[in-house]
Amino acid sequence: MKAILLMKAGGVENLQLSEVDKPSIQNDEVLVATQAISLNPADVKPKYSDQMLNMFFGPNRPLILGWDIAGVVEEVGSAVKHFRPGDRVFGMINFPGVGKAYAEFVAAPAAHLAKMPEGTSFEAAAATTLAALTALQILEGRIKKGDRVLVQGGSGGVGHFGIQIAKAMGAYVITTSSGKNRDFVMSIGADEHIDYQTQAFEEELSNVDFVLDIFGGKVLENSIKVLAEGGTIFSTAARDFSADIQSQIRRLNGTISSILVESSGEDMNTLKGMMEAGTLKPHIYKTFPLAQMAEAHTEVEKGRTVGKIVVTV
C-alpha cells in the first residue's frame, strides 16, 4: 500500500510517498481503507525534533504520522461486534500514541471509531475528529445553558468546533480571531467577536464563565482578567500553571486545567449525532491529495487555517 513516511526528524522534505506492507489487525481492531485524513498542529510540529518524535512515536524511523481518518471497513477482528466490512467509519486513531493514519490502510481499534453520519463526505468526516473531540472533551459537562463562553482562536480547527458545540449547549459564545474571519465565526454561531489584531479582549470582556484557551502564554494570563467569580479556564496549550496564575485563579474561586485529547468511539458517536442533527459542521479550508502531504503540512504550519486541512487518499 501507499503511505507517507517521515524518514527522519526535520522539515517537510523528509515526508516521502512510499510503498509499505498493509498492516495486519488484532482481534479488537478493524482494517480501514482510508479515503480522507485530516491534519492538526500535532501532526506537523513533532516532526522537527527527535525528542518530540520519540515522545509520541518511540525511536523507530522511518515512521507513519497522523491520527484522523475516514474510510471504509475492509476487515474486522474476531472480537469486533459493531462494525462490518463496507461500513463507512471515522475517528481519531490511538491518540495519544501511534495512529499511522497517513496510509491507504489503517489498523484501527474498533473502540476509537464511529459510523459516519448519513450523507456526509469522507472529507467532512475526516475533518471532524481530533479537533472536534478536543472541543467536545473540554466543553461536555462543564458548561451550561446561558454561560458566557470565550473560545480563543474561533476560526481554527479546535475553535470552530468549540463555537458550534458551546452554542449547541446553549451558551452565549464570544470568540477571538483576526478581522478577516469575523463573518465566518459569526456564521457558525458566535454571538460576539473580538478582532485580536485591533482589540485587546481583556479590555473588552468581563464576567466570562468559561474560557477555552488554545494559546497558553499571555493569552491565557489575560483570560484570567475576564473570568467571572467561580469561572473556569481549560487550555489545550499550557500544561503547567505558574504559582502566580494558580493564586489568581484561587482568589476568584475558579478552576484552571489542561487537556490531552483521547481517542473515544463514544465521543465520536456524540459528534456523529450532532452532525446528523445539523448542530455541527466542519469547515474545510483546503484539500490536498496524498502525494502533496508536504504542501498540506506547510499550510498547517502557517497557523492561519480556517477550520481544517484535509488530505484525500
Ligand X SMILES: NC(=O)c1ccc[n+]([C@@H]2O[C@H](COP(=O)([O-])OP(=O)(O)OC[C@H]3O[C@@H](n4cnc5c(N)ncnc54)[C@H](OP(=O)(O)O)[C@@H]3O)[C@@H](O)[C@H]2O)c1
176 binds ligand X (CB under 6 A): yes
Q: Cα separation of 260 and 155, whole Å?
A: 21
What residues from 253 to 292 belong to the interface with ligand X (CB under 6 A)?
Answer: 259-261
Nearer to ligand X, 4 or 214 (CB): 214
Residue 27 Cβ, how far from ligand X at the closest point, in Å?
28
Q: How far is the CB of 155 from ligand X (least distance, A)?
A: 4
Is 88 or 304 the residue whose CB approaches ligand X more closely?
Answer: 304
Residue 66 is a binding residue for ligand X (CB under 6 A): no
Q: Verify binding: residue 94, ligand X, rule CB under 6 A.
A: no
Please count the residues of this chain forming the interface with ligand X, following the rule CB under 6 A: 28
303 binds ligand X (CB under 6 A): yes
**For residues 219 and 194, is the Cβ–Cβ distance under 8 A?**
no
Q: Is 46 in the site for ligand X (CB under 6 A)?
A: no
| Binder among 16, 24, 27, 178 for ligand X (CB under 6 A) | 178
- Minimal distance, residue 300 CB to ligand X, in Å: 6
Determine, following the binding rule CB under 6 A, whether residue 128 of this chain makes contact with ligand X: no
Contact set for ligand X, span 6-45 (CB under 6 A):
40-42
Residue in 120, 155, 222, 223 binding ligand X, rule: CB under 6 A: 155
Please tell me whether residue 311 binds ligand X under the rule CB under 6 A.
no
Rounded Cα–Cα distance for residues 151 and 163 (Å): 6
Beta carbon nearer to ligand X, 7 or 260: 260
DSSP-assigned states of every residue in the chain: -EEEEE-SSSSGGGEEEEE-PPPP--TTEEEEEEEEEEE-HHHHSGGG-HHHHHHHH-S-SSB----EEEEEEEEE-TT--S--TT-EEEEE-SSSS----SBSEEEEEGGGEEEPPTT--HHHHHHSSHHHHHHHHHHTTT--TT-EEEETTTTSHHHHHHHHHHHHTT-EEEEEE-GGGHHHHHHTT-SEEEETTT--HHHH---EEEEEESS-HHHHHHHHHTEEEEEEEEESS--S--HHHHHHHHHTT-EEEE------HHHHHHHHHHHHHTS----EEEEEEGGGHHHHHHHHHTT--SSEEEEE-
Region binding ligand X by CB under 6 A among candidate stretches 27-35, 67-75, 110-118, 130-138: 130-138
Q: Is the peptide bond before 96 cis (omega within 30 degrees of 0)?
A: yes
196 lines the binding site for ligand X (CB under 6 A): yes
Closer CB to ligand X, 34 or 176, in the complex: 176
Nearer to ligand X (CB atom), residue 117 or residue 154: 154
Is residue 170 within 8 Å of residue 140, measured between CB atoms? no
For position 237 contacting ligand X by CB under 6 A, the verdict is yes
Listed ranges 2-10, 127-135, 139-147, 276-284: which one lies at the site for ligand X (CB under 6 A)? 127-135
User: What residue ranges bind ligand X (CB under 6 A)?
Assistant: 40-42, 130-131, 134, 152-153, 155-159, 176-178, 181, 196, 214, 236-237, 259-261, 303-306
